[in-house]
Amino acid sequence: MPRPITIDDLFVLKLVSDAQISPGGERVVCVVKTIDREKNKYLSHLYLCDLRTGEVRQFTSGEVSDSQPRWSPDGKSIAFVSNRQKPKTQIYLIPADGGEARALTSLDEGGIGEIAWSPDGTKIAFTFRLTPEQWRESAVKERKEKGLSTPPRIITRPFYRLDGAGYFDGQYYQVWVADAHTGEAKQLTSENTSCGSLSWSPDSQRIAFVCNRTENPDLNPNLEDIWLVPAEGGELQRVEAPKGPKGGVAFSPDGTCIAFIGHTKVEDIWGVTNNHLWITNLKTGEARDITECFDRSLGNLTLSDTRDVSGGSCPVWSPDGTRLLFLASDWGSTVLFTAPADGGEPTAVRGNRSDITGFSVSADGTRIAWSEGAPSRLHEVFVGELRDGSLTEATLVTALNASWLEEVALQTPEEFTCTSPDGNTVHGWVLHPPDFDPGRKYPLILEVHGGPHAQYGWVFFHEFQLLAAQGYMVLYTNPRGSKGYGEAYTAAIKGDWGGPDYTDLMAAVEHIVARGYTDETRMGVMGGSYGGYMTNWVVSHTNRFRAAITDRSVVNLHSMAGTCDFPLLPGDYFRGNAWAEPEHLWEHSPLKYAGNIETPLLIIHSEGDLRCPMEQAEQLFAALKVQGKEAVLVRYPLESSHGLSRSGPPDLRVHRLEQILQWWSRHLGEASHQVSAGQ
């Protein structure tokens, strides 16, 4: 008899990602992430899958974090990034047939962003950000031994830190290249902002990358260009393409074109605009949007608490250069599409009602590997055959979570659509408790996603399953502002948070309530980041819910304009500015309406959150307490960040979930206690 899922199951899950197929299509290497409970840390290792024999085995081991496995062009070795020289991170090489991994590079303390083999196999390009000397582990240790203070930071730029990455301190990701035999590494760029999205020319002579080399990249973040740099170093050459955010750079097989993912609305820093697939011709300078009529945004924009936000992905050319493969977010799914290189309607290849986080293709373009999951199935590796742009013979390769899935009782979400009072169609899901009986009434929890321009969808969510296992109905939707339903749908809340999105959320609640099995006296609402904003907005505009939980939330848009990790530029999204025209920011701030809040509120926030700083939670907590309202602030330490719920310290993630369950038990009663629908 399967058992209910628990908090402790976090320590059992094997999170599979980054499926990389060998050039010959005979093997796949992937990354498997786990949590070591005793050491309170995440570990990630490489697993090797032999498609000829079906053998799946752990390929690297140790108390390490191994990532980004990349096959050499001849398929004889695998390069990967590892922290096994802590605190330094290096590129390692390991023979594909097994053996000891050896450090290729000997870099100083810092972080490696991405790696890419040259097509001839003689070099590896990578991005690297050096840790300034005064912030290296040895310097910190020396200060502690001598009783010296932490040195001050002198800040001169508006964009000087990033949640999850910390303070830049004048160091940014630059393009480097290493000799694949000797490891000798050379820095190719020295920009005042980060470079990324590497792609080699087919002749291995040049490296394409994305960088904003304008005079003021902090205040013009979308003025990005593609640049070419000789592999031996030298003058940079700009690739002709419209200004705008760019990523997923990929040279065509013949080297005449470069594909990339992006758009041309340079004023949109919030991600309202759909990212499309572009191709620029290096000879003519002509750039074409080949998915111009495709009203979806490219990349994986589905949220989960078992992985970081995936975001963009790199398109892959067919060997003959006539087609490209790419991911896009569509109605809660992340789907693999193909499109002709000369333009035309994209065709869905794989991913209906599921979540694909990455894919790779063999050198001859006939075999493809990808990682895929669903609400009641964690991500695993799949392979398939590609024929004329179609995928056939899809096969499950790994089943690393199979025994756990047999042990626990996971709930399959019920999909629904409903209509808002203004006629908008809202798409959502509801997870029912185990042994659900529509003849009884159950407490309900509305979950609101962050972003706001992201989506909930067909993906495993531990927190949702945990709440359902406790006896709650879990309702989650994609209100206006979400991705996956067209650009107009996303843009509907631009500068108007708490408007159409609030209408859609409440319409979804009423739709489920109308079915008759919701205990309307025991309903809760919760969310994180923008979802926390909407939780604050909901409880300050209705008393429909008995209790609420707001996590890493936005409370005051006026103060956020100067405390968020990225500059909130005046008038680009919300009207006005923080110093002379704050009225619109204040009008859309939940703090303005804190006097209306009667709902007991649990406030969860991290001191290390640079995206929505702690001062946001402090303002709301203080406002409620001085009014005598019921509020509790759970304040997590500096080692946590905005992503606490999905990638924070394991013990703190456990504590957070315990607080959530205790709060709902206290305010919604024992979830397992249901009453008959007629009562």
**pLDDT computed for residue 393 by the predictor:** 83
Residues 552 and 633 in one domain: yes
Please, what sign has the CA dihedral across residues 108, 113, 117, 123? negative
Per-residue pLDDT tens digits for 189-223:
999 999 999 999 999 999 999 999 999 999 999 99
Strands 174-179, 185-187: pairing is: antiparallel
Residues 417 and 337 in one domain: no
In this structure, is residue 631 part of a structural domain? yes
The CATH number linked to 470 is: 3.40.50.1820
Please give the residue range of the domain that contains residue 340: 1-33+295-409
Angle at alpha carbon of residue 518, lines to 514 and 522, rounded to 5° = 130
Give the span between the Cα atoms of 555 and 589, in whole angstroms. Answer: 6
In this structure, is residue 428 part of a structural domain? yes
In this structure, is residue 110 part of a structural domain? no
Q: Which of 503, 449, 453 is nearest to 476 (CA)?
A: 449
Cβ atoms 449, 455 nearer than 8 A:
yes
Residues 493 and 564 in one domain: yes
- Last-in-domain residue among 409, 432, 453: 409
Residues 401 and 504 in one domain: no
Catalytic residues: 529, 642
Residues 436 and 304 in one domain: no
Residues 381 and 366 in one domain: yes
Q: Which of 562, 570, 648 is nearest to 604 (CA)?
A: 648
In this structure, is residue 51 part of a structural domain? no
Number of domains in the chain: 3
Residues 666 and 607 in one domain: yes
Cβ atoms 35, 42 nearer than 8 A:
yes
Q: What is the CA radius of gyration of the chain?
A: 25
Place of tokens 């093997």: 27
Residues 583 and 643 in one domain: yes
**pLDDT computed for residue 389 by the predictor:** 80
Residues 498 and 617 in one domain: yes
Residues 285 and 303 in one domain: no
Per DSSP, the three-state class of 275 is: coil
- Last-in-domain residue among 339, 374, 409: 409
**Token pair in block for residue 166:** 């910390």
In this structure, is residue 162 part of a structural domain? no
Strands 631-636, 601-606: pairing is: parallel
- Last-in-domain residue among 409, 442, 463: 409
- Separation of CA 502 from chain center: 24
- Burial of 108 (C-beta count, 10 Å sphere; 0-12/13-18/19+): exposed
Give the span between the Cα atoms of 50 and 29, in whole angstroms. Answer: 9
In this structure, is residue 100 part of a structural domain? no
Q: Which residues pair with 631 in a beta bridge?
A: 601
Residues 258 and 397 in one domain: no
**pLDDT computed for residue 311 by the predictor:** 62
Q: Which segments of 51-195 are extended strands (E)?
A: 56-58, 66-71, 77-85, 88-95, 102-103, 110-117, 123-130, 161-162, 166-167, 174-179, 185-187
Per-residue pLDDT tens digits for 582-636:
999 999 999 999 999 999 999 999 999 999 999 999 999 999 999 999 999 999 9
Give the span between the Cα atoms of 110 and 94, in whole angstroms. Answer: 22
In this structure, is residue 146 part of a structural domain? no
Block mean pLDDT (10 aa), the chain, length 679:
96 97 98 98 98 97 97 98 97 95 97 98 98 96 97 97 95 98 98 98 98 96 97 98 97 98 96 97 97 96 87 88 97 97 94 95 98 97 92 94 98 98 98 96 98 97 98 98 98 97 98 98 98 98 98 97 92 92 96 98 98 98 98 97 96 98 95 48
Residues 197 and 268 in one domain: yes
In this structure, is residue 143 part of a structural domain? no
Peptide bond into 649 cis (omega under 30): no
Cβ atoms 65, 32 nearer than 8 A:
no
Cβ atoms 355, 371 nearer than 8 A:
no
Cβ atoms 274, 261 nearer than 8 A:
no
DSSP 136: S
- Burial of 499 (C-beta count, 10 Å sphere; 0-12/13-18/19+): middle
**pLDDT computed for residue 260 by the predictor:** 98
**pLDDT computed for residue 379 by the predictor:** 97
